[in-house]
Structure 1
Amino acid sequence: MADITDKKGKKLEWYKYVVKRYLRDILQDLANSKNQMERSYYETRYACQLDAFAKALNVRPKLLEKYIKK
């Protein structure tokens, strides 16, 4: 599987401006959730979106999550 950089070593613009922000927003919503039902919803949403973006970028979800948390 590929890294999150293209052949020239630049970060993919799509990753930087769409994926990272979107997943970080979900993590922020998860941190601000008030009850278990909300937490469960955001955890499931985060896992599904992480998997979908990882497939689109052709990387493993764990690698993508590592870059999101930086």
Structure 2
Amino acid sequence: MEEPLHLPDAPIPPEDGDCCGNGCEVCVHDMYAAELAEYRRLLMEYETRQTMQLQPAPPTEES
């Protein structure tokens, strides 16, 4: 059974003061970029599944 279709939630970008500017190994901007990439992947998956569901079923052969 397929998962129900739902539009993924976009990640919230970091605010101006969220980055401390100390060159952290994993910066809030890095985390946002990763979340954004995952969001885009899920969105593409969602759009593909939406398109597939909207396409008419192929005609069946009647004997």
Q: What TM-score range do you get, normalising by the shorter chain?
A: 0.3 to 0.5
Larger radius of gyration: 2
- TM-score normalised to structure 2 length: 0.46
